[in-house]
């Protein structure tokens, strides 16, 4: 039986429909079955015969591999739609700066074949789980949860308790709780450390614009339980999950954060290990000075 491959794409990307059309054309004689959501199919002028259209809620159960065309944001959205499923994701970079997309448009077909030939590795990434005491709903983040002051013009206080021990009462604009995967996202922009995502077994606690200069990012084991209690004059705070607002919440309830019981599975391709990605994406080793200054006349 042919392997089933789910195709997910960010239609907001430039030439997204053309990219998808070109990919479908190249895979017409493929040994795989390609699956797309019905909500995507209605936006495609003509769906080729070798593409299977399924109801949106059946998309992931019909797929053995998800190929996500876009950037880091697209992969994050794919992860959230996957929920607790650990179906492997192969990211295809059609964006700019990104740390999660593993392959390119030119090589995606080859890497799909290599994956099903067991020639590619799966990188397991830890996930954060957050719930608010007294409420049933839980949220999950691959990159980070952010506690934000919800537009308030003054700082807020965030009591941060690790395994029942007070770490700090941060007086700041907010707080980032990051996974190793998220260490190259908002936490990095806020002065946090870069952490190897697949083998570190840690989380990062990173205050945003803290009032006290001695407050610095702290790396903690991912086996701990984190409790956050927010104090604000406006009696509310905003909670952000992987860059998307979950809304405003009352300061009266405590947040609990821990490592989720499931991981996210990302496909890794040759030549795209984390160290290579860092050098490439961050421009390490490049001479940013004006090269003309050193050229011979």
Q: Which domain covers residue 211, as residue numbers? A: 128-259
Do 136 and 99 share a structural domain? Answer: no
| CATH code for the domain in which residue 167 is found | 2.60.200.30
Query: Has residue 290 got a pLDDT over 70?
Result: no
Do 184 and 132 share a structural domain? Answer: yes
Please check whether residue 72 lies inside any domain of the structure: yes
Do 141 and 179 share a structural domain? Answer: yes
Q: What is the pLDDT of residue 83?
A: 85
| Residue 61 to residue 45: CA distance in whole angstroms | 25
Question: What tokens appear for 76 in the block?
Answer: 């994050």
263 an active-site residue?
no
Query: Has residue 177 got a pLDDT over 90?
Result: yes
| pLDDT average, residue stretch 282-295 | 66
Query: Has residue 296 got a pLDDT over 60?
Result: no
Query: Has residue 297 got a pLDDT over 50?
Result: no
Q: What is the pLDDT of residue 291?
A: 55
Number of domain units in the chain: 2
Please check whether residue 106 lies inside any domain of the structure: yes
| pLDDT digit string, tens, across residues 224-267 | 999 999 999 999 999 999 999 999 999 999 999 999 999 999 99
Query: Has residue 292 got a pLDDT over 60?
Result: no
How many percent of the chain have pLDDT more than 90? 80
Do 136 and 44 share a structural domain? Answer: no
| CATH code for the domain in which residue 57 is found | 3.40.50.10330
Question: What tokens appear for 273 in the block?
Answer: 């290990």
How many percent of the chain have pLDDT more than 70? 95
| pLDDT average, residue stretch 79-85 | 91
Active-site residue, from 15, 22, 56, 72: 72
Please return the burial class of 37, using the count of CB atoms within 10 Å of its CB with bins 0-12, 13-18 and 19+. buried
Q: What is the pLDDT of residue 289?
A: 64
Do 200 and 84 share a structural domain? Answer: no
Please check whether residue 141 lies inside any domain of the structure: yes
The conformation of residue 2, written as its DSSP 8-state character, comes to P
| pLDDT digit string, tens, across residues 191-224 | 999 999 988 999 999 999 999 989 999 999 999 9
User: How sure is the predictor about 97, in pLDDT bands with cuts at 50, 70 and 90?
Assistant: low
| pLDDT digit string, tens, across residues 12-39 | 888 999 999 999 999 988 889 999 999 9
Calculate the average pLDDT of the chain. 92
Q: How many Å is the Cα radius of gyration of the chain?
A: 21
Do 92 and 17 share a structural domain? Answer: yes
| Residue 7 to residue 36: CA distance in whole angstroms | 6
């Amino acid at each position: 039986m042919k392997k089933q491959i789910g195709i997910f794409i960010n239609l907001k990307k430039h030439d997204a429909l053309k990219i998808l059309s070109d990919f479908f054309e190249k895979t017409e004689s493929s040994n795989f079955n390609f699956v797309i959501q019905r909500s995507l199919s209605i936006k495609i002028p003509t769906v080729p015969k070798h593409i299977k259209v399924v109801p949106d809620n059946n998309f992931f159960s019909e797929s053995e591999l998800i190929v996500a065309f876009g950037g880091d944001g697209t992969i994050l959205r794919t992860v959230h739609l996957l929920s607790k499923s650990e179906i492997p994701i192969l990211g295809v970079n059609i964006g700019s700066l990104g740390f999660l997309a593993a392959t390119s448009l030119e090589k995606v077909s080859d890497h799909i074949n290599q994956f099903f030939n067991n020639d590619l590795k799966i990188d397991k990434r830890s996930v954060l789980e957050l719930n608010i005491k007294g409420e049933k709903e839980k949220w999950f983040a691959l990159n980070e949860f952010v506690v934000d002051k919800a537009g308030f013009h003054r700082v807020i206080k965030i009591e941060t308790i690790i395994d029942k021990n007070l770490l700090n009462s941060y007086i700041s604009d907010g707080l980032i709780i990051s996974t190793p995967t998220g260490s190259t996202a908002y936490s990095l922009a806020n002065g946090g450390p870069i952490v190897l995502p697949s083998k570190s077994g840690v989380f990062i606690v990173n205050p945003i614009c803290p009032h006290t200069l001695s407050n610095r990012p702290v790396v903690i084991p991912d086996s701990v339980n984190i409790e956050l209690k927010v104090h604000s004059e406006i009696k509310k705070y905003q909670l952000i999950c992987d860059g998307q607002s979950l809304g405003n919440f009352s300061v009266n309830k405590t947040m609990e954060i821990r490592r989720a019981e499931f991981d996210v599975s990302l496909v890794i391709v040759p030549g795209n290990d984390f160290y290579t990605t860092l050098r490439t994406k961050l421009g390490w080793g490049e001479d940013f000075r004006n090269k003309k200054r050193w050229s011979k006349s």
